[in-house]
A and B are shown apart, each in its own frame.
Chain A
Amino acid sequence: MTSGRRGRLNKQWLWVGLYALTMAIIPNVLANNYYMKMLIVLAINTIIVIGLNLLMGYAGQVSLGHAAFYGIGAYSSAIMTTKYGMSAWLGIVAAILVGGLVAYLIAIPALRLKGHYLAMATLGFAEIVHILFIELREITGGTDGLYGVPAPSIAGFAFDTPQRLYVLVWMVLVICLVMALNIAKSRVGRALRAVHGSEIAAASMGVDTAKYKIQVFVLSGILACVGGSLYASMAGYVSSESFTLTVSITLVTMAVCGGMGNVWGAVIGASTLTIMQEYLKSYNDYNLVIFGAILILAMVFMPQGIYGAFSDLAKKLKHRLQAIPETAGEQHAAS
């Protein structure tokens, strides 16, 4: 039994290697700023959706407020660098600390709620934060936002071009991916799924349900903040318009469409929907209509998400392939 599990784990790291390798090759094939920026956004979305998937897919806690953490990360970074002259790295650290603290303070009361009520509470939180981004003009720049967010640099080497920032963002993504896969496969991941399945049963097993719910909420908030901080570095400015309710819903849609309860589902969902959104921009006013229609069809025909649908298909194919030699053997014996 253990060797079977080990085999699956090794296969998983092989996938991580392949994914990282593909991402390393892509800049050589698509070497222009437009694609690079799109891939940076894709990576940032993936980082956030990985956290959201841990929270929603694994622990079963719905959040419609992740645009708030995304914004808190971006603004923390921007404020620290533009107003206090800190380096971009310290901006990222500040984003993690501020985001983690806010997530912790929100998680304690919010996670007493369940299902729709939790969704409504996080939605309310996101709206409050969004209004604060606009109204705290002296700190956030109001509707104008903040300009001049610097790119991170190491020993004089600045990640100031899309190609360079791509490398940094994708390294962060791979770290987040490995961390999430480790959590998912560990006893913590099992505990989160237990909380999702039945809080009473999880508590009966000795799982500290309140602690795990808070921890995963904080972790997912921090990942959104890291994404926000990297976004600020890429764009060079932050504005409240980038962190609206629509962004929260889009992030949740990425998690759901990719496949909940699987880290790779988050990767697939964020990648597919980011690329789709980008290409649909050419349809101007109709892009949201087409986007919505595709999502409805996807959910009707793939209720388990893209990952779930392909995983089921692979299993069916495997069963069929295994059945062919048996049928052939029976026919041979009959003849």
Chain B
Amino acid sequence: MLDIRGLRASYGHIEVLKGIDLRVDEGEIVTMIGSNGAGKSSLLKTISGVVRASSGEITFKGKNIERWSCAKIVATGMSHVPEGRQLFGPLTVFENLQLGAYTRYRRDSKKEIDEDTEFVFEMFPVLKERWKQTAGTLSGGEQQMLAIGRALMSKPQLLLLDEPSMGLAPIIIQNIFAILKDLRKKGLTLLLVEQDAMVALSIADRGYVLQNGQVVMADTSQNLLDNEEVKAIYFGHRKKAH
């Protein structure tokens, strides 16, 4: 579904992605793990068109999209849940969801969009209870649910998630990841960026390890979980604690 070859991107003179190769097949959950500053969020922004690639290819559903606008990419079936949720705080839950369907207004009928709003409300009943409330007044977990719900409103086939566990209590993280598993069952493909490697690899089929803008390891999640180097870098403290 998504094929990336030799992807490079820079912020001014600083190159943040240095030739990334990555593949996501339909129906998979693929995770990208790495420390702060490894380039994980920049990679997602480059895939979704927020940041322009300086070279390389991004193929989505067989089309080269590296020069496409965000709007065109969203309309083709890819949606991005940005780092830190980036909700529209002064807007209500309902208005945030409506914005998620922004690219569909000319394509789909109002009835279809209303049905999808109901689908999101069924998936996250707490959002239905708070539909009139402004997004800024929701709790962290509810905000993450709204960020995912908003992304689902564009009816994506591929969902890019940037650190959905950020700043959330463990019990809420479990809920969010259970929802992600559920979304995969419903046919969605997920590319998940996470700092919490253990949690991410526990639900993903495959994983990539990113360091300094380069992929340094790519394997199945189980192999990465068993890999001594990965264990040392990402689960060192956790394993000792056990």
Binding site for B on A (CB under 8 A): 1-2, 4, 187, 190-191, 193-194, 197-198, 200-208, 261
- Kindly supply a per-residue 1/0 record for chain B positions 40-82, scoring 1 wherever the CB is within 8 Å of any chain A CB and 0 otherwise: 0000010011100000000000000000011101110001111
**Contact of B88 with A187 in the complex, beta carbons under 8 Å:** no
Binding site for A on B (CB under 8 A): 45, 48-50, 69-71, 73-75, 79-82, 86-91, 94-95, 98-100, 102-103, 105, 114, 131-132, 150-151, 154
- In whole angstroms, what is the CA distance A301 to B132 when docked? 27
Residue of A with least CB distance to B104: A206
**Contact of B90 with A205 in the complex, beta carbons under 8 Å:** no
A contact residues around B81 at 8 Å (CB): 204
**Contact of A191 with B86 in the complex, beta carbons under 8 Å:** no
- In whole angstroms, what is the CA distance A207 to B88 when docked? 13
- In whole angstroms, what is the CA distance A208 to B71 when docked? 7
**Contact of B90 with A193 in the complex, beta carbons under 8 Å:** yes
B contact residues around A208 at 8 Å (CB): 69-71
B contact residues around A201 at 8 Å (CB): 82, 86-88
**Contact of A203 with B102 in the complex, beta carbons under 8 Å:** no
- In whole angstroms, what is the CA distance A1 to B127 when docked? 13
- In whole angstroms, what is the CA distance A196 to B69 when docked? 19
A contact residues around B105 at 8 Å (CB): 187
B contact residues around A197 at 8 Å (CB): 86-91
- In whole angstroms, what is the CA distance A13 to B38 when docked? 53
User: Given the known A-B contacts A197-B90, A203-B70, are A187 and B98 also in contact in the complex, defined by CB atoms under 8 Å?
Assistant: yes
- In whole angstroms, what is the CA distance A2 to B110 when docked? 11
B contact residues around A205 at 8 Å (CB): 74, 99-100, 102-103, 150, 154
- In whole angstroms, what is the CA distance A197 to B143 when docked? 15
**Contact of A206 with B71 in the complex, beta carbons under 8 Å:** yes
In the assembled complex, how far is the CB of residue A261 from the closest CB belonging to chain B, in whole angstroms?
Answer: 7
**Contact of A204 with B50 in the complex, beta carbons under 8 Å:** yes
- In whole angstroms, what is the CA distance A2 to B75 when docked? 25
Partner of A191, one of B73, B74, B99: B99
In the assembled complex, how far is the CB of residue A224 from the closest CB belonging to chain B, in whole angstroms?
Answer: 25
